Structures are given as C-alpha cells and as structure tokens.
Amino acid sequence: MTTESAAGTTTDSADIIDFLADLDPTSEVSGPVARLRHNRTQARDSAQQSFRALFEPETPGDFTLAERYAVAAFVAGLHGGATAAARATSLYTDLLVDELDGNATETETNALITTLAAVVSDARAHVNAAGVPTPYGVYREPDLADESVPGPEFHLLEAQKKVLGSRLAAALEFTHLLVLHPRDSRAERLQPLADAGWSPTEVVRLGQLVSFLTFQIRTAHGLGVLATKFVPQGDVRRPGKHAGARQADAPQRPVHADAAPGTGVNAGFDVITYPDLVRPRGFVSHPLGWVPWVPPVEESDLTERQKVALVDPLRAKSEYFRLLARDPEALEARTLTDKDIFYNVTDGAGRAERELSAAVTSRFNGCVYCASVHTGRAIAESADDEDAAAKADAIQRLCDEGVSADLGSALWNAIRDASVALATVPVRFGAPHVTALRDAGLSGGEIIDVINAAAFFNWANRLMLSLGEPELPKRFR
C-alpha cells in the first residue's frame, strides 16, 4: 500500500505502526525511538505482516476489503483522541474511499462515510453521557460482581443499517463490544453475526482484525509518546475527509448490496453454549481451561498451512489455536509477534516485567483466563529473585484487589500504571508514565518492551473474551 506522512512524503509499503506513530529513523526527534524499535525486528515485521494478512489478504473471501476498512475506521474513531488513533481514522477511511472508488457512486460513498462518522459520534456520545470509564462491562464471574461497571449498549439506527447493510451493521455492533466493553462478551453476543450470515471463519477474521487494531493503535500511541510526538487527549474525531457530506444524500439501500443478510436463525453457524460448564468465580493465579463459542477446526481436519501457522505443533491440541487457525496467515503473524515481544530479552526488559504488564492489562480489561496465565508466569519468572516471595504476594494482591494494588516497588508500580493507561479508551498513556518508567530504571528500549507487552494483551484479551470463556479445571474445584 501507499501512505503519505505528515510531512507529505509518499512511501510505498510503509510500516503502518511507524506511520501512525509518526516515526522517522532520520529525524532528530523521533529517530532514536524508531531505531530502538528496529531492535525488535521480528515483532516489528510480524506486526506489519498481521496488517497485511488482515487488510491485504490474497483472498478476502466474503469479508470484503470495504467491510474491513469500514470496521477499522470505526475502531479508530472509537478510540478518539488527537494522536495515533486520529491518524488511524484518516488512514482507514481513506483506504475505504479508495476501495469504493469504481464500485460505488460518489453519492453512495459520501453516504457511507457520513453514516460511519455518525455511528462513531453516536457511540462516543452514549459513553460520554453515561459517564462510565472505558473499558466497562459486567463480569461473568460472581465474585467480581462488585467490580462490574454496567454501561451503555449500542445499536445502530434503522436508517444507518439501511446504508451500511445488515452484515456490516452487525459487525459494527460487535466491534463496539470488543473495543469499549469486552468483558460484556457472552455467547449470545455472537448470535447477531450468525443471523447476518457471518461464517465461523469470518467471525474469527473479524475478531482478529478488531483486536489487532487495539494493539496497533496502542503500540503507535505509546511509541509516539516516547518520541515526544503526542499528548493524550479525549476528543472524538469523525472518520475521514468525507465527513462533511450530508446525511440527506444517503441512499435507501445498502451500499454493499452483495452483502446479503442470513436467512433465519443461525444462518451463519450454531453458537456453542455450555449450560453445565464449571466456571471460575474470580481472578486466579493458577491455570484455567478455555472453551470456544465458535466451532474450531477439528484437529484431524487441519490443513498443512494451518499446521504451519500454529508454529508449535502442540497447539494442535488447543481448541483456541485451532479456532484461530481458521485464518492461518493472521494466526502465524500474531504468534510470531507474540514470541518476539515476550521472549526476545536481548537488551530489553526482563521476562517478569513483560509478564507483569500482560497480567495488569488482563486484570484491567477483565480477562480472567489471560490473567490466570500471566500472573502465574510473572510469579514463575521472578522465582529466582531475592524478593521472589514479595513479588508473588504482589501478584496475588493484583488478583485480589485489582490494578489499584500496591505491587511493592517503584518499577512494578510504574509498569502497572503504564499498562493501565495504555488500556483505556481513549488511550491515556502520556509523558508522566514515560518519566516514571525512566525514573524506575528502564531504558528507552525497555520501555518499548513494556509498551509492546501491554498493547499486545489488548489484542489477546479481546480474542479470549469474545470467542469463548474460561473453565475451572477439575483439580481446582
């Protein structure tokens, strides 16, 4: 693809996160951060490959490029602010306009862009009027009832659905859930997608795309702050240069007439439910199981391409990874991004600190499964430290008390605060968080590792929360 920088320079095959963060290796201001990011080559390249897999696939299938760009513009718009999210809003809106060029009339294009902008504005207005923090939502787990923060549901207006079509309308309502209140995820939340004709593979692609964007925007935002380019703000930006088109121009039929709704209940697939599932009651630091609401690929049916995408052959036993294998290109790129962010410790932050960032993010977003994995790993990675017992106690406080818990050291508390600030919508990570991390002893490269880890778990949490739920293993019942 071709993107244009703020300076007006057009670049082919630009790294999108660098572009959104406004990083330039030759710049006196952002160059040092841009060059530090290049030290994590696999994470950088794999994040870019994730973009290509989700937005430039060789075979888009029934999840059209126009739908993908529309969802992306909505995600970016929901994040608001005048930083990386605003650049992302403009980027994905322009990609949508380019995709519609020749496939829709100017009136239809203006109507779609205007309607999309109105949907973003309405969604943000509902949240602002409710006065709830984002992310919000109600926990499934009974012991967490006191931490639940109910917030507004969002449904498109009938006039908006007429312009966007039932498929895209269902996708945007699901996207609103993932971005602003992922802990409200339940199996029944997938039913509107199934009824609108979304297949299991398309639902996985949609979930990956939305969740990836929450990573992309946060990574770019954090890098931009580190490079002193951005100051977090809370304004809401409407998508794109066509936002001035009049709503009266809207045609009374979907722009995507080929995106027909499903016929009847479960037109896309049967959502899986578990009436007798034994669920955890709250956050724990021991292992949990996980069950899918969307049918995964059977192990015996995995193709060679899907097996390669798993990276680790043992993942063929996991329903979660077999579910994500429905889009092998996206899964492989995501896995390689994950491995470099968390396991490449050359000249970077320690493993325990990265796992702590993942654990804090998961605790804040409300992902009980992810928190169980990464609180346990943070404890394990600290086991040889002189203060191992104190760190284990701090992790238990995180489980029990939430992200306000004192984690026992300036470094861990700074990582906690940075991770929480990166998880909010709009993203609140700013210069004071960078200062606190530096004062606690982290270098620029180590701060990038913390940013990457926190941003990645906004991706992971949303997949885990929206596609299935945790199960309490028999040995812990």
Q: What domains lie within the chain, and their CATH numbers?
A: 12-249 (no CATH), 289-476 (1.20.1290.10)
Q: Which residues contact 77 (CB under 8 A, 6 or more apart)?
A: 85, 89, 116, 117, 120, 124, 236, 237, 238, 239
- For 291, other C-beta atoms within 10 Å of its C-beta total 18
Residue with structure tokens 């680790």?
312
Least-confidence region, from 94-98, 158-162, 226-230: 226-230
Taking 60 as the threshold, does the pLDDT of residue 247 lie above it?
no
Q: Which residues contact 297 (CB under 8 A, 6 or more apart)?
A: 306, 322, 323, 325, 326
Instruction: Say what the pLDDT of residue 232 is.
Output: 55
Instruction: Say what the pLDDT of residue 268 is.
Output: 74
Q: What is the pLDDT of residues 299-341, one digit of tens each?
A: 999 999 999 999 999 999 999 999 999 999 999 999 999 999 9
- For 452, other C-beta atoms within 10 Å of its C-beta total 29
Using pLDDT thresholds of 50, 70 and 90, give the confidence band for residue 259.
Answer: very low
Average model confidence (pLDDT) for the chain? 90
Instruction: Say what the pLDDT of residue 347 is.
Output: 87
- For 388, other C-beta atoms within 10 Å of its C-beta total 15
Instruction: Say what the pLDDT of residue 254 is.
Output: 40
395 backbone dihedrals φ, ψ, rounded to 5°:
-65, -40
Instruction: Say what the pLDDT of residue 228 is.
Output: 85
The predicted model gives 367-378 an average pLDDT of 97
Instruction: Say what the pLDDT of residue 59 is.
Output: 92
Q: What is the pLDDT of residues 383-396, one digit of tens each?
A: 999 999 999 999 99
Query: Rounded to an integer, what distance in angstroms lies between the CA atom of residue 173 and that of residue 161?
Result: 11
Using pLDDT thresholds of 50, 70 and 90, give the confidence band for residue 193.
Answer: very high
- For residue 316, which amino acid is it? A
Taking 70 as the threshold, does the pLDDT of residue 250 lie above it?
no
The predicted model gives 32-36 an average pLDDT of 93
* Single pTM value for the model: 0.90
Using pLDDT thresholds of 50, 70 and 90, give the confidence band for residue 79.
Answer: very high
Q: Which residues contact 475 (CB under 8 A, 6 or more apart)?
A: none
Instruction: Say what the pLDDT of residue 444 is.
Output: 95
239 backbone dihedrals φ, ψ, rounded to 5°:
-65, 130
Instruction: Say what the pLDDT of residue 229 is.
Output: 59
Taking 60 as the threshold, does the pLDDT of residue 136 lie above it?
yes
